[in-house]
Amino acid sequence: MKPPYSNLFASTTDWIFDLDNCLYPASTGLFELIDQRMGAFIERLLGVDPVEAKRVQKAHFHEHGTTLAGLMREHRVDPHEFLNDVHDIPLDRVSRDDRLALNLGRLPGRKIVYTNADEPYARRILEALGIGEYFAELHDIHAAELRPKPDDHGYRLLIDRFGIDPAHAAMVEDMAQNLRPAKKLGMTTVWVDNGSERGNHGHHPDYIDLTITDVGEWLEDMLGDVET
């Protein structure tokens, strides 16, 4: 028997997934490597020590949505140069996820990745997870015209680009704030509570339809046992 929440997705034809800390667990610690490279980039750019670089980095993130957005606006950083640099990390921390792959393959409808990262990095992650074949479509920071989630501009471009009807779309995200624009547009929203936003419990029921902790587990639960 499928769980009651399956009714939320009875008419879903488009599944939109975030990438980092969503399709793979936050415990992987992959973003720590990216964070370190961001800090080193800012140190070189501004000629500052690690402490000041970290302050600048976090200030840009909180004020502009991403570190990149702040660096572009205030320091005219080339986004391609920045993204190529900070995403140049080893992926040995990312393991193939056979359960996730199996259930993505069973999930009816179109699967799209929408990420604030760039496509080359995202494709590397998807291949490392063993799920690249299930995502023919990918909407990255360049496709969003360098306006990161939760800026609704990128969501509207996503909808127009792929002809998505929000009433038949579900968005899966680990950052709760990124679900607000999706819900406003009419999508069904799924928050992946990976432990990084503990203070948010119960404070946004108006734009979160379902809370889960693991995408593969949720899909397996929703789709039921594999027929043998």
Is the bond preceding 150 in cis, omega lying within 30 degrees of 0? yes
What is the pTM (predicted TM-score) of this model?
Answer: 0.92
- pLDDT digit string (tens) for 115-150? 999 999 999 999 999 999 999 899 999 999 999 899
CATH topology of domain 4-25+96-223: Rossmann fold (3.40.50)
Closest listed residue to residue 18, CA positions, set 88, 87, 117: 117
Q: Give the residue-averaged pLDDT of 22-38.
A: 94
Q: Residue 191's CB: how many other CB atoms inside 10 A?
A: 24
Task: Give the containing element (helix H, strand E) for 13.
Answer: none
- Class for domain 30-86, per CATH? mainly alpha
Give CATH 1.10.150.450 domain extents, the chain.
30-86
Q: What's residue 2's pLDDT?
A: 77
Dist. CA 226–CA 217, nearest whole Å: 13
For 80-100, the pLDDT digits (tens) are: 999 999 999 999 999 999 999
- Looking at per-residue pLDDT, the higher value among 139 and 2 belongs to 139
Tell me, letter by letter, the H, E, C secondary structure of 93-146: CCCCCHHHHHHHHHCCCEEEEECCCCHHHHHHHHHHHCCHHHCCEEECCCCCCC
**pLDDT category, 227, cuts 50, 70, 90?**
low
Q: Provide CATH 3.40.50.1000 ranges for the chain.
A: 4-25+96-223
Say how many C-beta atoms besides its own lie within 10 A of residue 47's C-beta: 9
